[in-house]
Chain A
Amino acid sequence: MTHIKVNVDGTTYEDDVEPRLLLAHYLRDRLGLTGTPIGCDTSNCGACTVDLDGETVKSCSVLAVQADGGTVTTVQGLAKDGEWTALQHAFHERHGLQCGYCTPGMIMAARDLLSENPHPTSDEVRQALEGNLCRCTGYQNIVRAVLAASGQQVPEEATA
């Protein structure tokens, strides 16, 4: 067992963990922070994406011990005093989710994109989200949501 100290969404936790424990399982099973889901075992789907010390990581591919001394932000830590972020609003308003399983990872990955590129093009959004899979939406409304969150004009619906 290894002793770790991690700040997650503003709270500091200290735990003894097996060195092999994945950060995703630490968050979910030990801390009960189940807002970060796990969708695969090959780091393809991105559902478990979180922010670790300012870097976006797939928490299924990071060991809990690697987060020792670090700061983790999950989707559960985004809203402040119940006020959603612009991305959360945009996913809601642009119907950027259906089953919602990929949504925490999508929002975390999109947050990373917008911090580096505040006004991305549609293609840049698609490239940036390549590591996050969604099976429901066909991605179009996710792209619209990210563009809308960046303050850009986005057509309401393509429906004619």
Chain B
Amino acid sequence: MTDQAVEHEVGRSRLRKEDARLITGQTNWTDNIQVAGLLHLAILRSPMAHARITRIDVSPALERPGVVAAFSGADLAEGLGSLPCAWPVTEDIVLPDHPPVAVDEVRYAGDPVAVVVARDRYAAADALEAIEVDYDPLPPVLDLEAALAEGAPLVHADKGTNRCYTWPLATGGSFESVRQRAEVTVKRRYHQQRLIPNAMEPRAVVVTPLAASGEYTVYSATQIPHILRIMLAVVTGIPEQKLRVVAPDVGGGFGSKLQVYGEEALALAVARKLGRPVKWTESRSEGYLATHHGRGMIQDIEVAATREGKLLGLKVDLLADMGAYLMLVTPGIPLLGAFMYPAIYKMDAYEFNCTGVFTTRTPTDAYRGAGRPEATFAIERIMDELAAELGLDPVEVRRRNWIRHEEFPYTSIAGLTYDSGNYEAATEKALALFGYDDLRAEQRERTERGAPVRLGIGVSTYTEMCGLAPSRVLRDLRYAAGGWEAASIRMLPTGKVEVVTGTSPHGQGHETCWSQIAADVLGVPFDDVEVLHGDTQAAPQGMDTYGSRSLSVGGEAVHRAATKVVEKARKVAAHLLEASEQDLEFTNGVFSVKGSPEAHKSIQEIAFEAFTSHDLPDGVEPSINAETLVDPENFSYPHGTHLCAVEVDTETGRTRIRSYVCVDDVGRVVNPMIVEGQVHGGIAQGIAQALYEEAVYDAEGNLVSGTMADYLVPSAADLPDFVTGRTETPAASNSMGVKGVGEAGTIASTPAVVNAVVDALRPLGVHDVRMPCTPERVWRAVKEASA
């Protein structure tokens, strides 16, 4: 019998296949690409938030050494359409034109106004200085509420309003009626500051044209090569079949590379105009202006409850900062949160209303969690406020409201059907790991003696919807595309296996995890599996990677495609072994006849038989390869309980996370090591929002935190160790029982940390600290409360 892998791959902490090239410096980042005759693109950007361009002259740039071409917006307008928004959330949404290079008006500091193409990056950057532009300043639009007032200056004058859309949702009874009978109501306003995603690899794009055939290869640091191909065809008019899009090694995304960027279209347009290969790489500071931001919302939230702390209803009014233009999914981001405000809690009424507002700032769009961190923050913060109002323990108030494990599947008040979960189990485990009672005792002791350094405990019992997404749900939300994922499996004659996936990893480890899944189903060695991705020529179908979808949709597709391979192989095996299909067993990659184990064929032998086709049954095609597309029937709903203990120095405002414990339930786990890593990174980004990061604009609309020196991406010295635990309630919505994990940590952690900070200061009369909870803000909150 052939020596086959017998140990199950799924569930093992396999070390990553990706690592070898990454730790030896043999990576293929987009900016590494060098081709003969490569030209470098540099972009002149508006220094003003809002202005009319009264004159522009790019010709002086042409005099500079090494410069090959220079173009204004008008020069490029022909053959370069508006950048796409694929999520027009309402019928009457205001959809402004979004030229990749502004023609007559700039609408945020950083809006492109002209481009230079030169022989090297230094020459291109130098020549930008020679371009002459006259601006006639217009008033900036920065305040979300003022922007909606009558007579406010307009971001898009031709649209007559700064209101992009209003999207309402009302489910259950009316909030007003439950409010009437409520014994307690709590209303708060929370600010979701703007965040800058900061994937470590700056964006880059390289376009190589084949002039004779009109074909173009676009290499881009993108999360979405497949969507990008379609959209670039639409924007440039180049036929889709003439475009090949490649996402080489991509250095993180967090949503910021889930985008169709002007620079991608520009590089393609310029390569087409000049018939030469073109590269553009952003500098980090340029990226702070030009790569979309996340969050940026004002949340008015109100809960109505009984004296016992039982929730009756919830009302949420959102103002969401769209920025200056609508990018790929800008308007839809708040809607991904709309369904999550009720979270894990039962109630009778829910009202939600979101108004998208244009401002003269960098456009917003998806950033890790996209809508769900905001929703989770608001509900988990106000649950603490409700607990404080009622004098209850924050964990107890949650316990009185959450869906009990025996109630699953449970349709939430917002209309989502949560397929599985066990909030009790995750919370109990987290409380035990955390040492909740001891920390509470220490907190009381510090409070009683009026210690200058207080202890706060924050809890966050989150769930989220991910695994985007059922195509029919996306249709109902007016999203322009579907949510399926593709996989195919090629059984090579030499016994090796190629898995082709439509997901597009950028740090998640799909090469490793998809190999584990395929190896298990096919019974072949892990090392014999190669995963191909991120190239529309190698992996022609896909919906790419975002929204914690890759495993529950794309991994599921790999699983099903592999299962199909086994079924196709079974027919051939039955023929070769002269047995009926029902009489065959398939174990560890080997078909054998029940009762006569000496008669067997490995799946690799079957693959070779299919290749030679010398002895296939009649009517059977000469291949056991298989492909499949999976369109999930439901979202994936990971959940968990995060607990944070923070020491707060009331004299300096300094905070220090003393311990952080989480228990996440992400269903069945393919690779525990990778899951733990995803949770760590997610928590770090959520803590960053709670304590460190904010995109700050001045009154003129300039991005003040415009470099990495001014925007605090936390370092190792700014973050603690995390204790991670898991419970495992299999998802019912896919055959593997898996849920998403990429965003869970970020969604859960921000409210846990802020709840802890506020909890430390509550005895001093503090009820909120605006994010990020910097020492200055904490100090001011203490001073104001004691005044």
**Residues on A close to B: CB < 8 A?**
18, 20-21, 25, 28-29, 32-42, 44-45, 47, 74-76, 78-79, 84, 88, 91-93, 95, 97-104, 107, 122, 125-127, 129-143, 157-160
Contact = CB atoms under 8 A, between A and B. Distances in A.
Interface in B547-589: none
A77 to B, nearest CB: 9
Interface string B495-516: 0000000000011110000000
B200 A130 contact: no
Residue from A32, A38, A143 having most chain B Cβ neighbours under 10 A: A38
A153 B478 CA distance: 54
A99 B251 contact: yes
Nearest to A22: B122
B676 A44 contact: no
Given A76-B24, A140-B719, A140-B721, 6 more contacts: A39-B201, A41-B708, A88-B24, A92-B23, A100-B251, A136-B252
A40 B251 contact: no
Contacts of B34: 29, 32
A133 B676 contact: no
A97 B202 contact: no
Q: Which of B251, B254, B676, B683 has the most C-beta atoms of chain A within 10 angstroms of its own C-beta?
A: B251
Contacts of A28: 31-32
A92 B15 contact: yes
A139 B718 CA distance: 10
Interface in B242-300: 249-252, 254, 283-285
A100 B19 contact: yes
Given A34-B32, A92-B16, A135 B284 contact: no
Given A139-B716, A140-B722, A157-B13, A102 B23 contact: no
Contact of A40 (B21, B29, B284): B284
Nearest to B664: A159
Nearest to A36: B25
A67 B719 CA distance: 35
B24 A135 contact: no
Nearest to B22: A100
Interface of B: 13, 15-16, 18-27, 29, 31-32, 34, 120-122, 198-202, 249-252, 254, 283-285, 429, 433, 506-509, 663, 672-674, 676-678, 680-685, 707-709, 713, 715-717, 719, 721-726, 745
A39 B715 CA distance: 14
Contacts of A45: 200, 284, 708, 713
Given A41-B283, A93-B15, A135-B198, A158 B681 contact: no
B723 to A, nearest CB: 5
A41 B16 contact: no
Nearest to A92: B19
A159 B429 CA distance: 12
A38 B433 CA distance: 40
B680 A137 contact: yes
Contact of B254 (A41, A130, A135, A139): A135
Contacts of B707: 40-42, 44
B721 A122 contact: yes
Contacts of B681: 98, 135-138
Given A74-B25, A92-B19, A160 B722 contact: no
B529 to A, nearest CB: 19
A22 to B, nearest CB: 9
A101 B201 contact: yes
Contact of A37 (B23, B251, B684): B251
A88 B23 contact: yes
16 contacts: A29-B121, A40-B284, A40-B707, A41-B707, A45-B713, A92-B20, A95-B15, A95-B674, A98-B681, A99-B250, A130-B716, A135-B199, A138-B681, A141-B680, A142-B716, A160-B724
Contacts of A127: 716-717
Nearest to B723: A158
Contacts of A37: 27, 29, 31, 201, 251
Contacts of A132: 715-716
